[in-house]
Amino acid sequence: MVAVSRLSKPTILKGIRELKSKQALGWGEDRIRRRGGGRKPLEEQDPEITGLLEQVMDESTAGDPMSPLKWSSKSTYQIQQYLVSLGHSISEDTVQRRLRKLDYSLQGNIKDKEGASHADRDRQFRYLNETAKRFLREGAPVISVDTKKKERVGNFKNPGRKWRKKGHARRVNLHDFPSLGEGTAIPYGAYDPYRNQGMVNVGMTHDTAEFAVESIRCWWRQLGNRHYRGARRLFICADSGGSNGNRNRAWKYYLQRFSDETGLEIVVGHYPPGTSKWNKIEHRMFSFISMNWKGEPLVSFETVVNMISATKTKRGLRVKAVLDKRKYETGVKISDQQMKELNLQPHQQNPEWNYSILPRSNEQGSSK
């Protein structure tokens, strides 16, 4: 037996004695330990621990001002330390197991609350949709515009991961101090949903109304005028805030100048406040740009432009990007007299969000 099992004789004899003892006690063939053996469950050792744990979680979850964990992140370590301070012996791992049994789990935030909706929100969406369809039937261009999130240019960490050889991760600056970079890139885009094509003007100074209109002008010169020859109208869908906000005087002023230069009737429709995520440029163009450069440090403005221009999708999205080196000043004031000179016609449907800007005559245009 020793030769077959390769165990020592004392070990074999000890095993035989244990088997005989097991059979004599009636444990059964499927057990290796007598009933009731082993470490006692936590509830038997400390009957108060489960109730106390639930109390701690309820207090901190409900925001009880007297709870010692109200302002903590409620990590298992902090909970364990608090319970130990009350005289209960429990490990951090046991806290995790007990929380799972109590139906707790690690959860993040979910963006779900939009706040109160504007009373005319749905009607405005229908109006934008109907206006866009009418323009497309006429062969007139429709564009969605907005400013993408500003990006610091330099050897900084860019969220996301890219496939690289093991051990060849890009090394970036430990700190994100602006002084270590080249500046800030401000991508303003104009997206044509009908052609699934976009233009991004990358600014270097400030996101102003003048910059926004210059970006639209750039789209018209390089893409719009080529694809929509003979068009006399342009429909622009924009958010209600920022450089292209519906209350921004400078936005309307510079659109008037653009209309005078091109002879285009500019029709503008704004999305209701709090609904920017419905703007087509956000989920049809900007999202793919972010996916394309994830994990890639934007070390220079040239890198930003090239990464945007390289953005493509299986559904045919194409994006053109240019660098705008002009300096745009902030704080430009448009006087009441300048506003009166605009050839602006509010629409009957939500006039604060929908309006047309028509070209002025030469006499009017020269007075701007």
Same domain, 56 and 143: no
Q: Token match 């109208």: residue?
A: 233
Same domain, 132 and 259: yes
111 in any annotated domain: no
| For range 78-106, the mean pLDDT | 84
Q: What is the pLDDT of residue 64?
A: 47
pLDDT surpassing 50 at residue 62 = no
Q: Token match 């047309």: residue?
A: 356
Same domain, 254 and 359: yes
11 in any annotated domain: no
Q: What is the CATH number of the domain that holds 294?
A: 3.30.420.10
Same domain, 256 and 137: yes
| For range 315-340, the mean pLDDT | 96
114 in any annotated domain: no
237 in any annotated domain: yes
Q: How far apart are CA 190 and CA 224, in angstroms?
A: 10
User: What are the C-alpha distances in Å from 249 to residues 209, 213, 332?
Assistant: 9, 12, 10
32 in any annotated domain: no
Write out the residue range of the structural domain in which residue 71 sits: 40-106
Q: If pLDDT is split at 50, 70 and 90, which confidence band does 243 have?
A: very high
265 sits in which H/E element: strand 265-270
Number of compact structural domains in the chain: 2
33 in any annotated domain: no
Same domain, 261 and 293: yes
138 in any annotated domain: yes
pLDDT digits (tens, 9 = 90+) for 43-54: 667 778 888 887
Same domain, 145 and 189: yes
Q: If pLDDT is split at 50, 70 and 90, which confidence band does 74 have?
A: low
62 in any annotated domain: yes
**Pick the residue with more confidence: 32 or 284?**
284
Q: What is the pLDDT of residue 288?
A: 95
Q: What is the pLDDT of residue 29?
A: 54
pLDDT digits (tens, 9 = 90+) for 189-203: 999 999 999 999 999
